[in-house]
Amino acid sequence: MAKSKSVPLTEFIKEVETIVHGTTVTTNAVLTYSGAKTGLLTTKGLRDALEMRRGIREEQYNNRYTNVKPLVPRYLRMPIEERLDYKGDVVAPLKESDVQESLKIFKGENIEAVAVCFMNSFANKEHESKAKEFVKKQLPDAYLTVSSELLPSIRFYDRISTTVLNSYVGPILRSYLSSLTKKLKDIGFSGVLLIMQSNGGVISPEIAIDTAAATLLSGPAGGPVAGIAYTSIQGYNDCITIDMGGTSFDAALIKDKKPLITTEGEINRLRLALPMLGIVTIGAGGGSIGWIDEGGLLRMGPQSAGAKPGPACYNQGGEKPTATDADLILGYLDKDFFAGGKIPLNFEKAEEAIKKHVADKLNLDLIEAAAGMYQVINVNMASGVREVSVKRGYDPREFPLVVAGGAGPVHACMIALELEIPTMIIPRESSIFCAAGMLMSDLKHDFVRTYAVPFDKIDSSTFTSLFSEMEKEGTRLLSSENIPEEKIEAVYSLDMRYVKQYHEVNVVITKAEKDEVDLDSITKKFHPEHNRLYGYSLEGEKTPIELINMRLTLIGKTEKPKFIEEENKGEDASQAKKGRRNVYLPSKKDFQEVDVYDGFKLKCGNKITGPAIIEQVNTTTFVSPEYSVICDRYGSYTMYLKTRENEILGRVLK
């Protein structure tokens, strides 16, 4: 291998055309309650909506379950006399003196951000617009979010919570991105900087600052995008992505090359109603700590050892047993090759931690305890996959599993066996999976308008004009981000429900159905979608349907990095074999000596029959006895049940 040449940063940065950046600064601010000091202007009588929420107790039978802490304390939630009815007609005019007095209090309290959210402002933004002007005059330096601009849709708690979240993290993101853009400019970067959103798309830094809440789940959002790319090259339209890192485990489902989107997301139990990828995150990672609960049962996580002190085997002072410690004891990790040998692992420390905190308490030997830890965390992660599949009406056995994260490939076989999934794809870039997905993302903007009306009473002109209004706004935004009109793609959808239901069903419609207001065609889509999600349809009963929201997603297509295709070198993988070692096989509940392969020496077409280990500097893959692996044309590993070999080989190597 040729020796890489060192290039000064100032020269390297000039060759970079695009930087896509995913950030957790807004996420961390909410999780740690370290956002900006925020004031709220809201309709008189509704200042407690942040605490009352939608009146649903998350744990119905737990009388000790405490309410979520609001981001704005009550004394900074200012009641403003004004009222609009559901149509947007003025019931009580805006009392401007209330706004001015509230802003004086904000000024005295050194407020950094202001959120404005009035009842029914989605139907008429007049009162919020007036309040906005007062804020700009009296607090010109404060970050400002107006609900009718950010989220003009029905459901007051969803809107007020999202508006407050946006203001709470806005100054943090503004400071961070301003500093980042300045530093990039100072070192000579003249390309395009894009920021990852929670919806799987990217936006310019300027728009990200205005809609800061759209970045709250920016970190893992690149994963599903990468999953589409890695499965599409093998001809799949659907997949489930899983990403197991040091602290958490993320799972997402992709159907017809589109990640599932939700507008009922939460972060730290706070409602976020902006469109976001339907990612389920649980506390299960390499650093997840094993512990015994009050009932004497072994648990894994959600507590994590973190990066420091980390797992006990890192030898940095950690004393609690973690998933990584169990992986080391069971032979999945090589103590002398972790991170390519840069981080030697301490077997004795892992042994001591597991024995003291798990084995002795459960009266088990060391191997039984480590195997138990491995099994429990695998079952936890399989439950996370069920959340994004079975609970949404999909059978996980029909989806290939795309495995990512530094720890994911060690556990992938057991998760797949638990769910009876026959096929897995493990990218060589699995440890930087989300980063790879960010480079494959398009620019994306979401818009919503509430139009609550019985479906058979829809006014064609209103329906058409609302979509047209959103299209003009979105085209203007994408134009400001240098996206030509021919590269803009529109996705239209409607939130619909049977009359008086609590939840809506989002139904994607075609441009023709939108233009022609084809209600019959749209209705025929609604009933089977409702049946898939909830297990029943009322089509036969002719139950009336109502429209709640109209949604538009405008996508600005970007150039994607291309996969480099390799020549088929045949099944023989002997050139990549680097040795043998004892590995614990869960199906046999015993150790067996297996072949160990160097992942970077595997070539297209090379086949490995489990049990085996594939090692890379950035991750390790455990191949259980039930599976075989073949290296595909693009360097990824396709792992499949041995009973499905003929079907898989034809797809991978065609």
Residue 66 makes CB contacts below 8 A (sequence gap 6+) with none
Given a cut of 50, the residues of the chain with pLDDT beneath it are 1-3
Per residue in 144-164, is it b (16+ CB within 10 Å) or e — as a string? bbbbbbbbbbbbbbbbbbbbb
Place of tokens 């077409």: 605
Amino acid at the residue 320: K
Instruction: Give the pLDDT confidence score for residue 642 in this predicted structure.
Output: 92
- Tell me the DSSP string of 229-269: HHHHTTT-S-EEEEEE-SS-EEEEEEETTEE-EES-EEETT
Instruction: Report how far residue 423's alpha carbon sits from residue 400's, in angstroms, rounded to the nearest whole number.
Output: 5
Stated pTM of the model: 0.85
Instruction: Give the pLDDT confidence score for residue 3 in this predicted structure.
Output: 46
Same fold, 222-284+378-439 and 443-556: no
Domain extents in the chain: 25-181, 222-284+378-439, 289-366, 443-556
Q: Is the separation of the CB atoms in 424 and 639 below 8 Å?
A: yes
Residue 72 carries which DSSP code? S
Q: By C-alpha distance, which of 592, 607, 599 is closest to 642?
A: 607
Q: Which two tokens stand for residue 524?
A: 């025929």
Domain 222-284+378-439: CATH superfamily, name plus number: ATPase, nucleotide binding domain (3.30.420.40)
| Terminal C-alpha separation, the chain | 30
Number of neighbours of residue 214 by Cβ within 10 angstroms: 29
Instruction: Give the pLDDT confidence score for residue 630 in this predicted structure.
Output: 94
Residue 601 carries which DSSP code? G
Amino acid at the residue 114: V
Q: Which two tokens stand for residue 230?
A: 């890695």
Instruction: Report how far residue 568's alpha carbon sits from residue 570's, in angstroms, rounded to the nearest whole number.
Output: 6
Instruction: Give the pLDDT confidence score for residue 519 in this predicted structure.
Output: 95
Number of neighbours of residue 439 by Cβ within 10 angstroms: 19
**What φ, ψ does residue 502 adopt, rounded to 5°?**
-90, -40
Instruction: Report how far residue 40's alpha carbon sits from residue 146's, in angstroms, rounded to the nearest whole number.
Output: 10
* CATH code for the domain defined by 443-556: 3.30.1490
> Is 298 strand, coil or helix?
strand
